[in-house]
């Protein structure tokens, strides 16, 4: 076969296993990466550039392009050069590729790309790199604690182009201490900054020089955010620290601006008219974007349930600017008092929000549910709807379950429908229990703020049956979404949740053995086994301890095209369909379902890569919101240093115990040095610290009384001192300590 650009190439070049592919992509095909690696492997030794050129029959006009390819291979860790400039394969030299994970104390670890044990990187090695950099390293022995130790050979990729931190001035020399404590190096501020930043201000620096063994990183101030204690600055810091996109591109703003302000006649073509169906939205008091509306009516011994979801895909076209920005964000991020939406406000709070008393486009999941909660049949279709009311969980619960309440009077016209929704929830909940889904009871909290934007108080929020009504309706729609795509063999992003790993399962069984209980299911337990065990512990005084240990034995849920089921919900297949305003995977599922309805196929690209990206943006949002909440809690607790609080041990780690306070729902550390004059041993499987001499034990869920001794805003750490340990174990341990003392 003669390909453009290929005539005249030698037999050596045509022996390239990727020759045809290279020739199809490039007018002047070069030796492929695989061919370069093959030739180097055959030589069995480092090869200089001139020798490699001869081996691959590279011509003089190709030299520069070939050098660029070799450079790209070096950046990706496929090649490296030794001190003499010869090329070699890192694996052959015993080198390990991986990502650097820094520690606030100046050392770090290398997490290998190919798995295996981490390599410890001492402070001298960490001087060359920053947290997140990709490097090549060589195992260089073991440290004094027996950990495999590494030596960095080459930096493959720098992860940090910009950093956010606080300005310090030492005798006229300005430097920035990064907000990300995993970066322990100070960043020197390049001279000549105008206007000159002041000590104490929080700034964004662009790195103009990366660190080396002999010099710290150097940065140029590109943005001054304000003084450290300015209201709302904690969110500005988190946005930049976690690299969260918070400004829409100009093309996205223009594209959103061209959208209409309301549903037009042309939008109704091909849609079923649900405007006569009294659909309602039920959300929290502060919600502004309404993804979903519900309606139900009895049907024989069962029910007909319609879940209508905002038709975001009608407005956000695949490949457009809105779509690109939505994918980059992955999801909306909900900070206290501020939301970073996945879509511009015109869509998230307007066109795509199912606001009351206006026409809105929707994708409907129309289900017929039997008396036992089984979904007998369903269908999806594009629709137009007109929400009858914007309801809250609180008022729906009052209208349904509190006779004589003001909400019952106010919502009297919707009472029959709300009762039907409650009835379908009851049968779906029974089916859930029969299925064996796990239902952990967790405490959610709500922060109330003062005029300065700081926490006034933290309150627990109770999850009532109105929350559960909506939850069961959404679960049903999501299951139907996964089923329709599976039936038509259309690729999708499933929401997968795998069961416990073998090591976590072994630890869980060992822990429960001490309580005279066991988890069924052998080596591969099902969710129903967890649910049965959970039922046994519900009425125990230590249920919080036992439930927490069970929860921590499970893996995190992620997005993947490989359907392995959802362990926690006990579904063979599950996906996210019901929140396309705030989750990008849901938007993809809408497009996939529309493709099924049109007998076509939706191909957004590499489904696995998209799933990995969406899982990462979800974790990124969780980390950012957790960090902001931690800072706000630290700021709140500054005024309470010296006070005593009652609480429970929420986590046990080798260096101490974390205690969650009862009334303020804030967590802090009692360092192991504060636990008494003893050597304490950490028993991971039992979630406890045990004193070697005294036998004193500190275990998850123990009741304790602590005194607040220190609050560090910069590190977001709260330190307690143990005043008293309650409960039988604590009193027994304290008694032994006193007798032996």
User: Element (H or E) spanning 329, and its range?
Assistant: helix 321-329
Percent of the chain having pLDDT more than 90? 64
Interacting residues of 273 by C-beta distance below 8 A, sequence separation 6+: 383, 384
Looking at every residue in the chain, the average pLDDT score rounds to: 90
Q: Is 397 strand, coil or helix?
A: helix
Q: What is the pLDDT of residue 85?
A: 84
> What is 94-157's CATH number?
2.40.50.140
Q: Average pLDDT, stretch 321-334?
A: 97
Percent of the chain with pLDDT over 70: 96
- Helices (H) and strands (E) in the chain — how many of each? 20, 33
DSSP for 185-240 reads SPEEEPTT-SSPPPTTEEEEEEEEE--BTTB--EEEEEEEEEETTSTTHHHHHHHH
pLDDT digits (tens, 9 = 90+) for 83-141: 778 898 887 667 888 999 999 999 999 999 888 889 999 999 999 999 999 988 888 88
Domain boundaries, the chain: 11-90, 94-157, 162-228, 250-433+440-475, 641-740
pLDDT-derived band at 730 (thresholds 50, 70, 90) equals very low
Predicted pLDDT of residue 369? 97
Residue 142 confidence (pLDDT): 82
**What's the DSSP call for residue 9?**
-
CATH, range 641-740: 2.40.50.140
Task: Please compute the mean of the pLDDT values over residues 249-270 and round it to a whole number.
Answer: 95
Q: List pLDDT tens digits, range 415-470.
A: 999 999 999 999 999 999 999 888 877 777 888 888 877 888 888 888 899 999 99
pLDDT digits (tens, 9 = 90+) for 487-510: 999 999 999 999 898 888 988 888
Average confidence (pLDDT) over 360-380: 97
Ranges 169-183, 224-238, 261-275, 536-550: which has the least confidence: 536-550
Whole-number pLDDT of residue 7: 52
Q: Do domains 94-157 and 641-740 have the same CATH topology?
A: yes
Pick the CATH number of 11-90 from 1.10.260.40, 1.20.58.190, 3.30.360.10, 1.10.10.10: 1.10.10.10
Structure tokens at 203: 């700034």
Q: What is the pLDDT of residue 459?
A: 85
Average pLDDT estimate for 265-290: 94
- Gap between the Cα atoms of 291 and 352, Å rounded: 7
pLDDT at 726: 59
Domain formed by 162-228, architecture: Beta Barrel (2.40)
Q: Label the pairing between strands 218-227 and 187-189.
A: parallel
Per-residue model confidence as pLDDT tens digits over 398-428:
999 999 999 999 999 999 999 999 999 999 9
Name the CA radius of gyration of the chain, rounded.
Answer: 30
């Amino acid at each position: 076969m003669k390909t453009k650009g290929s005539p005249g190439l030698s037999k050596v070049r045509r022996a390239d296993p990727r020759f045809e592919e290279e020739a199809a992509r490039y007018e002047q095909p070069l030796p492929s990466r695989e061919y370069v690696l093959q030739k180097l492997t055959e030589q069995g030794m480092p090869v200089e550039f001139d020798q490699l050129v001869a081996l691959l029959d590279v011509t003089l006009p190709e030299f520069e392009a070939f050098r660029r390819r070799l450079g790209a291979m070096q950046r990706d860790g496929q090649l490296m050069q030794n001190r003499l400039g010869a090329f070699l394969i890192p694996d052959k030299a015993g080198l390990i590729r991986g990502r650097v994970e820094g520690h606030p104390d100046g050392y770090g670890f290398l997490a290998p790309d190919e798995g295996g044990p981490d390599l410890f990187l001492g402070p001298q090695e960490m001087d060359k790199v920053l947290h997140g950099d990709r490097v090549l390293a060589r195992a260089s022995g073991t440290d004094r604690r027996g950990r495999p130790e590494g030596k960095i050979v080459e930096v493959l990729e720098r992860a940090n182009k910009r950093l956010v931190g606080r300005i310090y001035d030492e005798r006229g020399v300005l430097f920035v201490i990064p907000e990300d404590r995993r970066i322990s190096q100070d960043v020197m501020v390049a001279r000549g900054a105008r206007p000159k930043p002041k000590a104490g201000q929080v700034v964004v620096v662009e790195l103009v020089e990366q660190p080396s063994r002999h010099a710290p990183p150097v940065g140029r101030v590109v943005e001054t955010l304000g003084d450290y204690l300015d209201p709302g600055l904690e969110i500005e810091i988190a946005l930049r620290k976690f690299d969260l996109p918070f400004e829409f591109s100009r093309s996205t703003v223009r594209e959103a601006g061209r959208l209409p302000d309301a549903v037009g006649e042309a939008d109704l073509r091909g849609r079923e008219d649900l405007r006569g169906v009294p659909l309602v939205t039920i959300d929290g008091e502060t919600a502004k974007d309404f993804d979903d509306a519900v309606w139900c009516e009895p049907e024989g011994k069962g029910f007909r349930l319609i879940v209508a979801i905002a038709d975001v895909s009608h407005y956000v076209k695949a490949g457009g600017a809105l779509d690109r920005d939505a994918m980059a964000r992955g999801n909306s991020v909900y900070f206290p008092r501020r939301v970073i939406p996945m879509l511009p406000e015109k869509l998230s709070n307007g066109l795509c929000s199912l606001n009351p008393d206006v026409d809105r486009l929707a994708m409907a999941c129309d289900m017929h549910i039997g008396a036992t909660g089984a979904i007998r049949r369903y269908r999806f279709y594009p629709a137009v709807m007109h929400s009858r009311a914007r309801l809250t969980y609180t008022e729906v619960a009052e209208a349904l379950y509190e006779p004589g309440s003001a909400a019952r009077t106010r919502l009297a016209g919707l009472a029959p429908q709300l009762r039907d929704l409650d009835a379908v929830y009851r049968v779906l909940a029974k089916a859930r229990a029969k299925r064996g889904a796990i239902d952990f009871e967790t405490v959610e909290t709500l922060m109330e703020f003062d005029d300065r934007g700081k926490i006034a108080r933290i309150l627990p929020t109770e999850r009532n049956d109105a929350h559960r009504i909506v939850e069961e309706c959404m679960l049903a729609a999501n299951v139907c979404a996964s089923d329709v795509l599976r039936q038509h063999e259309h690729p999708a992003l499933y929401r997968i949740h795998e069961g416990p790993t073998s090591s976590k399962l072994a630890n869980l069984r060992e822990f429960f053995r001490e309580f005279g209980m066991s988890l069924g299911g052998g080596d591969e337990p099902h969710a129903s086994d967890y649910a049965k065990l959970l039922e046994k512990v519900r009425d125990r005084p230590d249920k919080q301890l036992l439930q927490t240990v069970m929860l921590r034995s499970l893996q995190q849920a992620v997005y993947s095209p490989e359907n392995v089921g959802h362990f926690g919900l006990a579904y063979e297949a599950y996906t996210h369909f019901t929140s396309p305003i705030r989750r990008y995977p849901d938007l993809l599922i809408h497009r996939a379902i529309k493709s099924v309805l049109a007998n076509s196929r939706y191909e957004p690209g590499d489904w696995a890569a998209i799933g990995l990206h969406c899982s990462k943006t979800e974790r990124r949002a969780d980390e950012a919101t957790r960090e902001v909440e931690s800072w706000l809690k630290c700021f709140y607790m500054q005024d309470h240093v010296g006070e005593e609080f009652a609480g429970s041990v929420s986590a046990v780690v080798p260096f101490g115990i974390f205690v969650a306070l009862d009334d303020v729902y804030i967590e802090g550390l009692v360092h192991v040095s504060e636990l008494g004059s003893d050597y304490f041993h950490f028993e991971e499987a039992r979630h406890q610290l045990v004193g070697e001499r005294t036998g004193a034990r500190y275990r998850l869920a123990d009741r304790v009384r602590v005194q607040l001794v220190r609050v560090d805003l910069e590190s977001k750490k709260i330190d307690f001192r143990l005043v008293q340990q309650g409960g039988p174990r604590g009193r027994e341990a304290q008694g032994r300590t006193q007798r032996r003392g």
